[in-house]
Structure 1
């Protein structure tokens, strides 16, 4: 599925459940498997069914706060059986990069949750607790307890010459109360005050997915994520197919407006999308059709008309709609007009079915 022109992404679909086509799912965690402390409803059962079908699971997270042991234990508590070796964190990626740059024993100041310091120690680095100890690097990752004191030490250390390394620059994290400040917001504080640009080691850098592929021996991995700029771009950069889920931060409008390297191969409401076939999107005159849905050009360069009760002429009856066939048609039609650069789409509903779908996807009808 990878390497296709932008307008072909999503168009091919997947005529078999992805859990029978791809051998390993590389799953993001926040917004995919859980939101806050709780599992996304139905996801543990879906992942267990995927495993039963022969798919192996790996967990690749930009959240640097916790250790792989803690993450694996939390997953197991939620009903998703996992071992520490199944988990790759952005702290581990950062620690590997810093160890490669400065060598074993180098002094490093961690900023973030316990997972940051634990990963540094595991990589053979010396953890320090302040700028006065002259660290050669500052590794900054997410931690809910990060406050002014830690940020101030990081600023002083970076001003004194330490390399600023960020585990990720995700601006937000999903929560039951909606998006909350992520590591990127805190990284911006340090980079703004110091005037430096951090070295970012987490997704979309392909190293994390590559490590998970190496551990699992995957031949046909499928990245499952909720973020376009980390999970989906990271999959593209790693040469893997991707499945976007809507249980995290990305919505339909953002997906439509995505640039080429942020466009997924498959999409679904949640990880249940691993268990069902995904329909193709076909040309239909000047528009695109998926099932009984049709997206066609309207008046204006970025206007699309969505018809929800389109009856295809000839061919087999469409498969059961999972609620996203219309969005698939819209994406392929819009991306064909914008093969490289993203652009917002102005969608006009042609009937009540289309209007209801736009409302369901959080898109106000034009």
Structure 2
């Protein structure tokens, strides 16, 4: 199978009225910005080309993301950032969850999303919840917290309780640095789902996934961007590229991130429209 065509930055600037840009794996990693990211964002500013950063990060509020990007040398305002965590607010409104007791696994900003949505936070030792939200893999003592949460979940299933399982960030892995990787909240959700299947064979309860590749993220981003004549830049086939393809937008796989071009493309049904080797064209 032939490889998708390469695209240059100048083609992105000339052919589109705006860009949707993934954060981790494209602009930044945990330790800083990728080579070329600062000059790329400056070029967008110089050309007055609209953009929105779309990130599956649910561990930081948009203003916290903006502060992190600023520390990395990227001047990106919070109103240009759509996080998967921010989609919790619309989800609560659509499902009449105001006042729901929320057990949130994640750091403080993950919990703030639930509060902004109108949820009432409960601790893992409370022993009950209406909504379980996995905001991140960090911010809690992993084994004791997940064990207590699993026990509460099983008790609720045994009683036949109604509850919601919510996963803002479906990503399984993320880029810690230019050369290192880690598990993220999608993998935590898989642990719970596999545990449910093990104890309750045939049970089809699963987490509601909000971020890329699903439509709510793109709905919000397109509304802010103001045009559908845009390209989506991302580094993961199953989230960034699949989401763009499903939404009918041009997809650009940035080769500096998680996807191993030498091994992955030939074994995936998800194909980007273009490949961008790097943001650094110096």
Fold shared per TM-score above 0.5: yes
2:53–2:81 CA contact under 8 A, matched in 1 = yes
Match of residue 194, structure 2, among 182, 189, 192 = 192
Match of residue 180, structure 2, among 172, 178, 188 = 178
Within the alignment, does 1:52 sit opposite 2:60 as a pair?
A: no
Say how many residue pairs are matched.
Answer: 266
Distance in 2 between residues matched to 1:249 and 1:43, nearest whole Å? 16
Q: Does 165-174 or 225-234 show the bigger shift?
A: 165-174
TM (norm. structure 2) is 0.85
2:165 paired residue number: 164
1:268 paired residue number: 276
The unaligned stretches of length 5 or more in structure 2 are 198-204
1:204–1:233 CA contact under 8 A, matched in 2 = yes
Pair 1:227–1:55, CA change in 2 (3 A): same
Shift of 1:51: 2.6
1:99–1:125 CA contact under 8 A, matched in 2 = no
TM (norm. structure 1) is 0.67
Pair 1:118–1:265, CA change in 2 (3 A): same
Q: Does 219-228 or 12-21 show the bigger shift?
A: 12-21
2:145 paired residue number: 150
Match of residue 225, structure 1, among 234, 240, 261 = 234
Pair 1:245–1:54, CA change in 2 (3 A): same
1:32–1:40 CA contact under 8 A, matched in 2 = yes
RMSD (Å), alpha carbons: 2.5
Higher Rg of the two aligned structures: 1
The unaligned stretches of length 5 or more in structure 1 are 1-5, 276-366
Secondary structure at the residue paired with 2:53?
strand
2:211 paired residue number: 202
Pair 1:131–1:101, CA change in 2 (3 A): farther
2:5–2:275 CA contact under 8 A, matched in 1 = no
| Higher relative contact order, structure no. (Cα contacts within 8 Å, ≥ 6 residues apart) | 2
Q: Does 13-22 or 36-45 show the bigger shift?
A: 13-22
Distance in 2 between residues matched to 1:272 and 1:22, nearest whole Å? 19
